[in-house]
Amino acid sequence: MIYVVPLICFIISIALTPAVKRLAYYWGAIDQPNQRKIHQKPMPLLGGLAIFASFLAGVILVLPFDQRVFTIVVGGVIIVMTGILDDMLQLPPHMKLLGQIAAGGVVIYGGLVITELNIPFGGQFVLGFVSVPITLLWVVGITNAINLIDGLDGLAAGVSAIAFSAITFMAFLHGDFFVLVLGLICIGSTLGFLVYNFYPAKMFMGDTGALFLGYMIAVLSLLGFKSVTFISFIIPIIMLGVPISDTLFAIIRRILHKKPIAAPDKAHLHHCLLLIGFSHRQAVLLIYAIAALFSLAGIIFSMATAWLSIVILCILIIALQIFAEALGLVGENYKPLLTMIRRK
């Protein structure tokens, strides 16, 4: 039954999206084009409602409604309501942040907290009183990371589906039935919406979808990796390399240019790829490929020895820095590593 669930969720998501599209027009949840955005005509938002409804259907079909499920669903409702309000009313950043914190708070109250890390080469680090803020930071950070990359047709949905697939595969390897089932549900629900969202998109997921997908990736990561070693804790960070790195470079870029961290700009990864000549479809597919490589690296990382894991991590960081400098993700003049290489 569980392996049929993604197909059922896929079909439900496809079936619900046209109805949600009509609802978006009725409620006036329309994304108007402007100089900061890529699309050239008004597009209906709220597509995340179809993803969330499909997700709920999958959960009801195969999972007992215990405390874990209740906690995740309640947090999901809060994050989806935050997204709906933003899609309709364009909430200020601090209001969206409050919604994300509330959803993260529900997850933490339900017992999903990072409490300790086993240090490689021996030893254990108990997080103690910082366990709650670290867990909250993880949920809010990943939620926002997915929201920030939602700038091209199908980009956030595709990258999220790749991340869900990687986490689900890891759950299969570890025999974690709960994460496996939730991952399959998320994959089916996301891919069903992607049918309407891939370039040229007929509908946008809006913050309703981007926030929910980010929230679920954060939660599944915590469920799958919260009780493992420090090295293994890095696995979800590697798997989410595209949204996390894009977010970090955006923060650095805005700090260096003395702009508010929440200020929007057109210097994200997808913007840079379009600027150097990639088409819309090519940019999305290239980012899919990069996301898949990060996910594969995360899986290999989980199977390597401690020393080899450190070597892989160093190589990834250096390669990512060179890639970011070559594209100008931080700024055209910010190229310390490339400058050092050229001098040699």
Residue 127 burial by Cβ neighbours in a 10 Å radius (0-12, 13-18, 19+): middle
Compute how many other C-beta atoms are within 10 angstroms of the C-beta atom of residue 70: 12
User: Model-level pTM?
Assistant: 0.86
Contact 132, 204 (CB under 8 A): no
Is residue 121's pLDDT more than 70? Answer: no
Is residue 219's pLDDT more than 60? Answer: yes
Cis before 6? omega within 30: no
The pLDDT tens digits for 258-276 are 777 766 666 677 778 887 8
Cα-only R_g, the chain: 20
The pLDDT tens digits for 144-200 are 888 878 878 898 999 999 989 988 998 888 888 999 999 999 999 999 999 999 988
